[in-house]
Structure 1
Amino acid sequence: DKNSRGWKLKRGVIEAINELINDIDHCHSQIADQALEHIHQ
């Protein structure tokens, strides 16, 4: 039904946003780790 599809879509969007937030939260440490490799080349 239409309401069920709406909730599935909403859940998918929320999961994608949470994954993006998680990636943003952790990207600074990954960048810092890779920066050391690039600086010392």
Structure 2
Amino acid sequence: MLEAKIKGDSKEGDLRRKITKGNLSQNSQMHKNRRMLG
């Protein structure tokens, strides 16, 4: 039971990491676009 909880937590952590990575890459793209426009 505890093992399953740990697995679930790590899965959630991976998802969060993916989401933050996605947000970071989107932000850098926005900065690049803004630099090109500006």
* TM-score between the two structures when normalised by the length of structure 1: 0.68
1:19 counterpart = 2:12: no
Amino acid at match of 1:3: E
Cα RMSD, aligned residues only: 1.9
* TM-score between the two structures when normalised by the length of structure 2: 0.72
Task: Provide structure 1 residue ranges, at least 5 long, that are not aligned to the other structure.
Answer: none
Q: List, as ranges, runs of 4+ consecutive aligned residues in structure 1 with deviation greater than 3 Å.
A: none
Task: Provide structure 2 residue ranges, at least 5 long, that are not aligned to the other structure.
Answer: none
Q: Percent identity between the aligned chains? A: 3
Give the Cα–Cα distance (whole angstroms) in 1 for the partners of residues 28 and 4 of structure 2.
38
Give the Cα–Cα distance (whole angstroms) in 1 for the partners of residues 21 and 28 of structure 2.
12
1:4 counterpart = 2:4: yes
Tell me the number of residue pairs that the alignment of Structure 1 and Structure 2 aligns. Answer: 35
